[in-house]
Amino acid sequence: MPTSRNFSPWRHFLHELAGVQPDDPVPVDDVAELRAWKERFPTRLEALLGPLPSAVPPEVEVVSSEDCGRYRRDKIVFDVEHHLSSPAWLLVPHDRETPGAAVLAQHEHGLGRGKDEVCAVDGGDDGLREHIRTHRSDYGHQLAERGYVVLATDLRTFGERADWNPPHLYACDLTHVHAAMLGRNLLALDLWDLARALDVLCAHPLVDPARVGMVGLSVGGTVTLFLAAWDTRVKAAVVSGYFSSWASSAAVAWNMCGSQVLHGMLGRLEHVDLAAAIAPRPLLVESGTRDDLFPIDVARAEMAKLARVYDRLDAAAHLEHDVFDDGHRWNGERAYPFLDHWL
């Protein structure tokens, strides 16, 4: 008889995670194999995303407008599927007169306030204001101040799209359960909504569709990495506080949430695979040396693999890794010049 037995599902998961073997990982040293891998990657990704909604007209509505100094902040709403709409902040610089660069800016998990945090809309909440300050998470506002048209949406279960939920539980976990009951992945549904946000942004008369980027912190980094890999309309991306590997980040207790996973993705899709699918388009990754959720040593090792991919595609200058001495937050020191250069 066994001398010891495990009763813990968490420890069981860690044992299973440690035994995962990659299926068709990105080949980093052979350019011919790499190009063939990139050709088959979209089919593999779409299989993991699973069933997606049917397209509906966005029917964009401007609900309100406010002068924010250097830009106008419009509250807009658009439809993403039958029975569901998405609210968003649209920031348009006053001096924008012709089509130019734009950025889709996605919020972190954080306090669950969604697009408000990205656009520095604190509503007089001192706690939110302090959180924005320490996490530098108002990058949508910062980008608009720098002259970009910015669209910031709420992911499902965040901001205005949050249903009531016990404060000690993640709403995205419950919605992940509901999506699973419908045979769908919540992350895939968020990506669908963001692709519809790109539809709205690219159709704006003051946006050049060839100059659209995307940025995000934490869960915003998750969807930025996935969407840029899935939708080539993202011409440059900044992924902050996310890039490492499943083997490391999923092994951190309470790190993963319902907005960040796809059914059966372990072994079939790695962070570096998604980033390699973006190549040779410009990508900047921000990593804090004291980010406990996405360990810096793993981030450095995976970025070294990714650098070989960009090098094989003659695009070494298109990839940057901003390593800064702090924790799980947005940095921006190299991100803003990076976007200025590529967009």
Residue range 268-308, pLDDT digits in tens: 999 999 999 999 999 999 999 999 999 999 999 999 999 99
Q: Where are the alpha helices (DSSP H) in the chain?
A: 9-18, 31-49, 115-118, 126-135, 139-145, 171-181, 186-203, 219-230, 246-249, 271-278, 296-312, 335-342
Q: How confident is the model at residue 264 (pLDDT cuts 50, 70, 90)?
A: very high
Tell me the average pLDDT across 101-112.
93
What's residue 78's pLDDT?
A: 98
Q: How far apart are CA 181 and CA 133, in angstroms?
A: 39
Q: Could you check whether the bond before residue 282 is cis, i.e. omega within 30 degrees of 0?
A: no
Nearest by Cα to 213 from 337, 328, 61, 60: 337
Tell me the average pLDDT across 223-237.
98
Tell me the domain boundaries of the chain: 25-342
What's residue 1's pLDDT?
A: 63
Q: How far apart are CA 138 and CA 119, in angstroms?
A: 5
CA dihedral (71, 72, 74, 80) in degrees, to 10, reads -30
Q: How far apart are CA 62 and CA 211, in angstroms?
A: 23
| pLDDT tens digits, one per residue of 159-169 | 999 998 888 77
Answer yes or no: is pLDDT of 172 > 90. no
Q: How far apart are CA 90 and CA 150, in angstroms?
A: 6
Answer yes or no: is pLDDT of 9 > 90. yes
* 107 neighbors 118 (Cβ within 8 angstroms): yes
| pLDDT tens digits, one per residue of 241-256 | 999 999 899 999 888 8
- Pick the range with the lowest mean pLDDT from 56-65, 143-152, 240-249: 240-249
Count Cβ atoms within 10 A of the Cβ of residue 54 and give its class: 0-12 exposed, 13-18 middle, 19 or more buried.
Answer: exposed
> Is 25-342 CATH 3.40.50.1820?
yes
What's residue 168's pLDDT?
A: 78
What is the model's pTM?
Answer: 0.96
Percent of the chain with pLDDT over 70: 99
Question: To the nearest whole number, what is the mean pLDDT of the chain?
Answer: 95
More confident residue, 112 or 182: 182
What's residue 164's pLDDT?
A: 87
Tell me the average pLDDT across 13-29.
94
